[in-house]
Amino acid sequence: MKLVDILKTENVKIPLKGKTKEEIIEELVDLIAASDPEVDHEAVHQAILDREKTMSTGIGQGVAIPHGKTEGVEELIGAFGIAPEGVDFDSLDNEPTHLFFLLVSPVGPAGPHLRCLSRISRLLNREEFREHLIKAGSPEEAVKIINDEEKQYFEIN
């Protein structure tokens, strides 16, 4: 499964307007709910917040991957946003977060959810990719950058 298979262009926002962790999460959940009327906005929002209570999904290096599982969705869905100014997301390195990839999946087998989280983490671990992605000027450009990186990275490794 490729990230671009679950990431619709309409679920990408550049720039994100939120200034807090909660506002960023709300903004990304709003994108998902607006693009799919079957999504239970409140259930998705609560699942993400509940996961954040366990431990921040701000993994450092300017990246956060808020995620959760809920009956509020029928399939694995993603949203992505960029906050050029950076947001305090309680990251492990205490640095501002710029790149946000939200992932939500239905309750059930963890395999697809974990594989997608792993794929996101591996891609965003590459500094050159993060630097390229943060400069994306539109949702279309961001999705193209992600798609190109997936092709290159996963064909080589």
Please list the active-site residues.
67
Contact call for residues 133 and 7 (beta carbons, < 8 A): no
The DSSP annotation for 32-88 comes to HHHH-TTS-HHHHHHHHHHHHHHS--EEETTEE--EEE-TT-SS-EEEEEEEEEEE-
* Residue (of 99, 84, 96, 92) closest to 28 by Cα position: 99
Q: CB-based contacts of 155: which residues, under 8 Å, 6+ apart?
A: none
Contact call for residues 71 and 51 (beta carbons, < 8 A): no
Question: Rounded to an integer, what distance in angstroms lies between the CA atom of residue 148 and that of residue 70?
Answer: 30
